[in-house]
Structure 1
Amino acid sequence: MAGHSKWSNIKHRKGAQDAKRGKLFMKLAREIFMAAKDGGGDPDTNPTLRLAIDKARTNNMPNDNIDRAIKKATGDLEGVNYEEYTYEGYGPGGVAVMVKVLTDNKNRTAADVRHAFNKNDGNLGENGCVSFMFNRQGYLVIDRNSADIDEESVMLEAIEAGAEEMETTDEQFEIFTEPEAFSDVKADLEESGYAFKSAEVTMIPETYTFLEEEGVEKMLKLIDMLEDNDDVQEVYHNLDADEEVLEKLS
């Protein structure tokens, strides 16, 4: 689907901003904490924890940070208790937005998320108001410029490993999987020598809402404000915009 590439361009912008703010490790630690709390501290028997650890390592998170998050979740170290919630609403121009949070104070976080929507021409909605527009999928990105990689070979190996589809841009190969197949596809491709620029299970929109420059600027301010919140783990949306506009505003 052509829409995947629209989503990934904005997604990559988001990832770069998270890293610049220096908050990425904290958010990854919370994700590991929740996975270990819900399913135990052994990644061999807890696939959700294994995915969270893989994501942390992809982002160069130190092993000590990973181990500490697991120990806090399993009671080996004292720590706060986080709960997971998802908020849904609409941004400027009717862009669908989902906000995944991990918080130790639901009232505070809900108020902060609502304030971000209200301040940026959006509105928080009821649970389920936009989630039907998104599909949970595995997403793997291989940088085609990092090595001499043949497109047909990557596609055949990805399909053989269990991937659903692959898209090619000038810069990269984007591989999509069912969530349950993500770990196996990733492991098989790693065994074949491929390295990933990005690898995660995420929410990808089925349709997109196109905005002109003024609306895009407002929408990006909403995303930035949400991501500045320490409790916010992920912001999913279906914004579509011209590449030139995104480059200018970035």
Structure 2
Amino acid sequence: MLVFIKKKSINIFRENKMAGHSKWSNTKHRKAAQDYKKNQKSMKLIRNITSASKKYGNNPNINFCLRAAIIKATNNNISKNSIKKAIQRGSLNFEKKKKIQQIKYAGCNKEGIIILISYISKNILDIQSKIHKIFKKYNFFFIHYLKIKYLFQECIIFLFQKTKKNEEILINLAIENNAYDIDTNSFKKIKIIINTFDAKNIKKEFKKFSLKILKTDTKVIAFKKHQIISLTIEKFKKFLKELKKIPEIQNISHNAFTKI
């Protein structure tokens, strides 16, 4: 009987020991999982701050993405020191990658007049805000460049000295090579506007006839022109003048049917 009791007591002791061990392990794993989730969330928020400052700079008054990331981080109890460090990391990369870029900005109004602007700048956000103000003034709104890309084509402009001999040759060459436009109105010069695809062929023919090109230039031209209805021509001229005042803007092309 004594042996039986001893065995029973040992079994009870072992059962209690095992039950206590499993309870502690469950709480330990649960806590570890909760801590991992918290760390992941905080790391994601810090990563958003660094990426925003890397792309658009460390000023939250101009950089709205950075401002939103900082507000999110503060709401999730992330310290000011860690936010500062994240901004510094991003801004260092931003200064390294700060190079001159050529960007295309497109806009449209309710009548269907589309304007395409190409500009070169280091500070993208500053110029975009200037363009946005002018757009708002003349009831234009922003459109993504890729959506209206098919409506425009890149052309090359060839400029020649006007003489009696070369005028007829140039007109014939332009017609044969499907030129977009031929301008012979000026007294001293002839202008040929042609597609970039056909430009190589016409250049070879210029060499055959020993025609000297004075100047070459590139221009983006709309396939179809759109008539101005409510917006007057004078108002549209003012709109273009205001855009041309921005020194970083290189080219402005539109589909408006006007002699501008």
The normalised TM-score by structure 1 is: 0.53
Cα distance in 2 between the residues matched to 1:231 and 1:154:
35
| Cα deviation code 1:174-206 (max 9, x no counterpart) | 42333255467458637824444x521221111
Distance 1:142 1:99, change over 3 A: same
Matched, 1:112 2:100: no
Partner amino acid, structure 1, of 2:158:
L
Give 5+ residue unaligned stretches, structure 2. Answer: 1-97
Match of 1:155 in 2: 171
Matched, 1:85 2:103: yes
Cα distance in 1 between the residues matched to 2:120 and 2:183:
34
Q: Are the equivalent residues in 2 in contact too, given 1:89–1:129 (CA < 8 A)?
A: no
Match of 1:54 in 2: none
Partner amino acid, structure 2, of 1:167:
I
Cα distance in 2 between the residues matched to 1:159 and 1:225:
37
Greater fraction helix: 2
Give the superposition deviation at 1:155.
3.3
Match of 2:114 in 1: 96
Match of 1:240 in 2: 257
Give the superposition deviation at 1:110.
1.1
The normalised TM-score by structure 2 is: 0.51
Match of 1:10 in 2: none
Matched, 1:220 2:237: yes
Give the superposition deviation at 1:86.
0.5
Q: Are the equivalent residues in 2 in contact too, given 1:205–1:238 (CA < 8 A)?
A: yes
Rg comparison, structure with higher value: 2
Give the superposition deviation at 1:115.
1.1
Matched, 1:140 2:155: no
Distance 1:174 1:132, change over 3 A: same
User: Higher relative contact order at CA 8 Å, sep ≥6: structure 1 or structure 2?
Assistant: 1
Cα distance in 2 between the residues matched to 1:106 and 1:182:
32
Matches within 5 A, 1:1-250: 81-91=99-109, 93-142=111-160, 144=162, 147-157=163-173, 163-165=177-179, 167-171=182-186, 173-179=190-196, 182=199, 185-186=202-203, 189=206, 192-196=210-214, 199-211=216-228, 215-241=232-258
Give 5+ residue unaligned stretches, structure 1. Answer: 1-79
Three-state SS of the structure 2 residue aligned to 1:81 is: coil
Give the superposition deviation at 1:167.
2.8
Identity among equivalent positions (%) equals 15
Distance 1:228 1:195, change over 3 A: same
Cα distance in 2 between the residues matched to 1:127 and 1:157:
33
Name the stretch that deviates more: 99-108 or 177-186.
177-186
Three-state SS of the structure 2 residue aligned to 1:217 is: helix
Give the superposition deviation at 1:97.
0.5
Partner amino acid, structure 2, of 1:219:
F
Match of 2:92 in 1: none
Q: Are the equivalent residues in 2 in contact too, given 1:158–1:189 (CA < 8 A)?
A: no
Match of 1:37 in 2: none
Q: Are the equivalent residues in 2 in contact too, given 1:92–1:218 (CA < 8 A)?
A: no
Cα distance in 1 between the residues matched to 2:183 and 2:120:
34
Q: Are the equivalent residues in 2 in contact too, given 1:137–1:177 (CA < 8 A)?
A: yes
Q: Are the equivalent residues in 2 in contact too, given 1:89–1:130 (CA < 8 A)?
A: no
Q: Are the equivalent residues in 1 in contact too, given 2:117–2:249 (CA < 8 A)?
A: yes
Task: Give structure 1 regions of 4+ aligned residues with deviation exceeding 4 angstroms.
Answer: 156-160, 183-188
| Cα deviation code 1:114-150 (max 9, x no counterpart) | 1111112222222323222111121224364xx3344
Three-state SS of the structure 1 residue aligned to 2:136 is: helix
Distance 1:185 1:86, change over 3 A: same
Cα distance in 1 between the residues matched to 2:125 and 2:230:
34
